Chain A
């Protein structure tokens, strides 16, 4: 079925046309909003019963309390009464933001007797660097016996973490060893939003210390006593915590990638080997594969020959995991290395690429939506999967069935065999029912100039 924007394709597409020089096309800025790890951290920490989270910020900075509260209510069937803010205002900015935070911590400790207090601090409001803020919180800590912790993912990370040279915060490492638990047990860290793989692990007779949203504070403070840690899902916090335990407390950490058929099988068997219960895990593998195989076969039949384009940020393995699943679903992945096509591009740092994906590709997560449109238009996939801040609605308005995976920082769903089948069913459903998207495309509502819409930033190159 022709796509409605085909009138644009009729325009002469040239890599350097309509007044854009090559240099301009290369230097176009990333200019969209972004998710940050701080949000997933807020989501995780605010769900630890018995603790308190204080956002040291203005009221506007707390606009993300709503989605966090929604998830809290769904999980616990009650409202979160332990999520606070200091609501900094102009007076605080002028006369100092230390006192409101000190008062807030004091009141929180006295009123609620929490096991820990997490502080999410907006440095711009406080006029402080992260390091200064950390020192200020360390200063507050001196007055209390319970941990008062600066809530930042990079507080757990090594100094080389990304481009921020913030050293790991020893306070977090200490927390993991506050509690003592004897005997053999294994940490299980999963902060993704898909319980598929966790459900499988629950079937095995392994003494778990489960660390996931909603887990009690005891699970965190006992984690350094574990025999080993397994972390899966693609959420930064779980990875960082697992690595911290290994670095600071010599608890071996194993990353699992339970996405797709083979990935799930490997992850289960690896878990079995690590936890000393391989036969039990083999039984789970056999039972699950027998259960899901017919559904997978059916998905593959429905998706045969379909071209599915994933536009994913490359956070913590999201893109690789999605590519694995798509390969197992038997779809065509445009821009994959298997196609053996060379592309001339203005989207990434390289002038030519052989694949859109991975470190050698376009690093799609750092390309703004207004530029990615060119790729989407060029490829004309049957479905676009979007795990990116700002391109999903544009793909849909182009008339292309679109599956949006929200909140990149909350990890990739579709874990385990059930997740793979679920993904396949969603994609097949979109391929077979593109009505909404085709109708949307008939309403030309793009805010971009025609010249820009016709501009090619990516094209096949003759080899």
Chain B
């Protein structure tokens, strides 16, 4: 019988998309929720997930109308919104307001959409996305927000920009390494001569979202997040998409990924090869420094890499350590509850691995305890929640997924070639500190 007790919040809730809004320069989210809902999510997804900061409109200064609890209704929340919108328009430098409604608005059935439509007609740059927390986790919330933004904000354009790619990869803030990863992916794509439409993080803007239909390709790098959006964009604007189901980590995977992208464009072969050559040279030059360590026989060295993360992170890591570093994969505990329609594809990706979908994080410990009976050294890649478990099992531990806890992440990445080198440093430092 399934346990009725759950623990270790890792997936947060769909209202976590407030952090995705924060990741778009010039967009302000207006949380139409209780004040603590917005603050708790900031605390879990940003502050306690690598100290990612408040940014411009987020964090503890996130705009929130506040809502009364059911027992003491004072004002209807739709009465609060006009005042907040009018004030923000006068005080804040912004290009887009995103009204996000949570559980309470949904339960009491407020027609926020009608209020927002009224203001949009009146010329306010405002959209509304309904994100009740009980309806799903932050990955789903992110996807729903992106679809809402495209539906309500992005208009068709006939101007095509050759070589422009919309990059859909990490979920901002939820993946604590998102900004570094996006920068690395951008660097790689620009390296082969493409232009990257930066939709989140450094260099992003609300205008970039307006440019979405001008792109020649939507590039989705994730097992499932962003796929439905890319499908929507293909239907609305006819833009093709390339779905690369795991983040490229290490040279081999990066080269394979870039080659696939190249086939969508007419990139001169020489330019492409020259870039790859340089990447390869630099990557292996650095990698060779660690060779003595990698090949050494040491009883501490892991004979399996277990991972507890969303499938985006876990699968990417597993492929890298197996294919590039030759370290056998262990168990992959996937925590992001991917929609049913993507499960087959994710299973097929992970043929070589033992994938376990986790509904309740408390189920993980008994399974790993059983696994550790063989006494073989291993490393556990996971979140802040998993560190004590690793200690208990005698495994090395590397924090790679949300929530990271009390760590600082500024621009660290683990994808591409330079990110992979950084990942290896962290990985081996964790092993050596055992």
Contact = CB atoms under 8 A, between A and B. Distances in A.
B15 A390 contact: no
B49 to A, nearest CB: 8
B90 A61 contact: no
B40 A64 contact: yes
A79 B397 CA distance: 15
Interface in A73-108: 73, 78-79, 83-90, 92-93, 100, 103-104, 106-108
A7 B253 CA distance: 51
A376 to B, nearest CB: 14
Contact of B9 (A60, A86, A163): A60
Interface string B55-94: 0110111111111011110000000100110011011111
A394 B70 CA distance: 34
B229 to A, nearest CB: 22
A461 interface: no
Contact of B90 (A19, A92, A122): A19
Contacts of B36: 33-36, 38-39
B370 to A, nearest CB: 18
B64 A32 contact: yes
Interface string A100-123: 100110111001000000000011
Interface stretch (A125-133, A139-147, A280-288, A333-341): A125-133
B388 A73 contact: yes
Q: Which of B3, B4, B10, B28 has the most CB of A within 10 A?
A: B4
Chain B residues touching A, range: 35 or more
A13 to B, nearest CB: 16
B62 A32 contact: yes
Contact of B4 (A34, A83, A107, A127): A107
B56 to A, nearest CB: 4
Contacts of A130: 69, 71
A65 B45 CA distance: 11
Interface stretch (B133-141, B158-166, B176-184, B409-417): B133-141
A179 B12 CA distance: 39
Contacts of A390: 54, 59-62
Contacts of B93: 446-449
Contacts of B92: 370, 447-449, 452
Interface residues of A, number: 74
B90 A449 contact: yes
A369 interface: yes
A131 B72 CA distance: 10
A370 B53 CA distance: 17
B57 A447 contact: yes
Q: Which of B103, B132, B384 has the most CB of A within 10 A?
A: B103
Contact of B6 (A59, A106, A393): A59
B1 to A, nearest CB: 9
Given A38-B36, A63-B43, A447 B103 contact: no
Contacts of A164: 72
A58 B62 contact: no
Interface of A: 19-20, 24, 27-36, 38-39, 54, 58-67, 69-70, 73, 78-79, 83-90, 92-93, 100, 103-104, 106-108, 111, 122-125, 127-132, 163-164, 369-370, 389-391, 393-394, 445-449, 451-452
18 contacts: A31-B30, A31-B63, A31-B64, A31-B66, A32-B64, A39-B36, A60-B9, A60-B41, A65-B7, A65-B8, A69-B385, A103-B4, A107-B5, A125-B107, A125-B134, A164-B72, A447-B92, A448-B92
Interface of B: 3-16, 28, 30-31, 34-45, 47-49, 53-54, 56-57, 59-67, 69-72, 80, 83-84, 87-88, 90-94, 102-104, 107, 132-138, 360, 384-385, 388, 403, 405-406
Given A60-B12, A60-B40, 13 more contacts: A31-B66, A33-B38, A34-B64, A60-B138, A78-B388, A86-B6, A93-B107, A111-B5, A124-B70, A124-B104, A129-B69, A369-B61, A448-B93
The 7 A-B residue pairs with the shortest CB-CB distance in the complex, in nearest-first order: A60-B13, A63-B44, A129-B71, A103-B4, A390-B61, A33-B39, A34-B35
